[in-house]
Amino acid sequence: MTTSRLFSTVFSTLVCLTALAQEGAWTGKLDVQGMSLPLVFNFSADGCTLDSPAQGVKGIKGERTITEEGKLRVTVAAVGVTFEGLMEGDSIKGLFLQGGLSLPLTLRKGMMQMRRPQTPVSPFPYTTEEVRVASGNIVLSGTLTLPPNCNCNTPVVVMVTGSGQQNRDEEIFGHRPFAVLADALARHGIASLRYDDRGYGNAALDFSSFTTDDFKDDAEAVIRYLRNRFSRVGVIGHSEGGTIALMIAAEGKADYVVTMAAMAVSGLQTLVSQHRASLAQAFLPVTVLDAYSNALSDAFGKLANGACVEDIDVGNVPAMLREHFSKVLRQTSSPYMRHLLTIDVRPILSKIVCPVLAMGGKKDTQVDCEANLSALHAGLSACRHTILPFDGLNHLFQHCTTGNYTEYQQIEETMSVEVLDRICLWINDIR
């Protein structure tokens, strides 16, 4: 055997052994401007994928190679990411490269362990029933949670999720907010029904074709179902679900309402605010943020009126943000998003006569707490209402540092105990 062939054989063997040693999940955390961003590389015989749990992204395909020096190189072309590192014992130490950034990253074998201490664990001091509710030609699957000694006079609530297709627990980043809330309610003598969003688990169904009005119809179907068994039915809605709760109350179809980070100002205003808050984290000048936000508001108005994305002029958008701007417009062109832009519940708030508890977190970067609670305080003129802003809480009502959604996954708390207690006490107080 020649020396070159021997080297080739040895190198191939080393590559195989290295690849085998790397198979499985490897987890690390990037330090980005003081924020921790977890990443998971999944290596297998078929290649590799990248997950960013804090951003809700999974399975981005990448390519893995091993250099002659034994260095691991992972390229994820879809997001412009490269990772290069060397195995050192039980870790892979290297550099994460993206968009001109070069950041140290150490990967350790194993999946990221997420502690969720509030997630209910059996045995429970209450019972549950699996139910199916028809809403037009859609069948909704849900869980009815019943406290001890439940009867027709027991208070009951329908739980309505926020935007995006979600399961009955409103599960996000390992958190199960609605399961935690249902548990707290039952322990305070309050029944609840939480349900999977229409089409959940059905990949053949185009969820983006549905609108907030469809989700409102679903919530009303669940209310009708519960009225066959309970004398008083309320609604607890989170985010978009809170907006739906207000719509239902304005039509006189709920006996009481709890809103959690509900959108009370227009959908257009809310989305512009969200995008501005997101870009503000990049420390862009205020003048740039103002110009971008004004252009986005104008563009959203045109989308709401049926304009095509291609017909919207980007000339007044700061040059550095035009590509991002165009991407946002494409993402906002679905039937669901176009309809969301048109929603504004402020004109109907005066029609609500049932009791309302409205809550918001002051560090919410998705639904501005001050703007939306102020709108509710001004508009709820015909009903008993309680407005509660909470210091230090984000959109999920977790205690947080920045309020940014990338923190949600890293926080162990699912929902503030104070918020849970206030909801339960308020419902029992209005019986």
**What is the DSSP secondary-structure string of 322-375?**
HHHHHHHHHHT-SHHHHHHHH---GGGGGG--S-EEEEEETT-SSS-HHHHHHH
Residue 124's pLDDT is 96
State the CB neighbour count (10 A cutoff) for residue 1: 7
What phi, psi does 152 have (nearest 5°)? -65, -20
Share of the chain above pLDDT 70, in %: 93
Residue 88's pLDDT is 82
Beta 81-88 vs 91-98: how paired, if at all? antiparallel
Q: Where in the chain is the domain with CATH 2.40.128?
A: 3-109
Taking residues 133-152, report their average pLDDT. 96
**Cα separation, 115 vs 429, whole angstroms:** 33
- For residue range 204-232, list pLDDT tens digits in order: 788 888 999 999 999 999 999 999 999 99
- pLDDT beyond 70 at 239: yes
Q: What pTM was computed for the model?
A: 0.81
**Cα separation, 211 vs 208, whole angstroms:** 8
Terminal CA-to-CA distance of the chain, rounded, Å?
89
What phi, psi does 153 have (nearest 5°)? -90, 0
Residue 25's pLDDT is 85
Q: Between 267-280 and 335-342, two packed helices, what is the crossing angle to 10 degrees?
A: 110
- For residue range 283-321, list pLDDT tens digits in order: 788 999 999 999 999 999 999 999 999 999 888 898 889
**Cα separation, 51 vs 277, whole angstroms:** 24
Q: Where in the chain is the domain with CATH 3.40.50.1820?
A: 127-265+344-429
Taking residues 91-95, report their average pLDDT. 87
Share of the chain above pLDDT 90, in %: 63
- pLDDT beyond 70 at 397: yes
- What CA–CA distances, in Å, run from 403 to 173, 184, 273, 408? 15, 24, 14, 8
- pLDDT beyond 50 at 6: no
- pLDDT beyond 50 at 344: yes
Average pLDDT, the chain: 89
- pLDDT beyond 80 at 32: no
Predicted confidence band of residue 34 (pLDDT cuts 50, 70, 90): low
Q: Which CATH number applies to 3-109: 3.30.43, 2.40.128, 1.10.287, 1.10.10?
A: 2.40.128
**Cα separation, 62 vs 39, whole angstroms:** 13
Predicted confidence band of residue 243 (pLDDT cuts 50, 70, 90): very high
- pLDDT beyond 60 at 1: no
- For residue range 253-292, list pLDDT tens digits in order: 999 999 999 999 999 999 999 999 888 877 788 999 999 9
What CATH homologous superfamily does 127-265+344-429 map to? Answer: Alpha/Beta hydrolase fold, catalytic domain (3.40.50.1820)
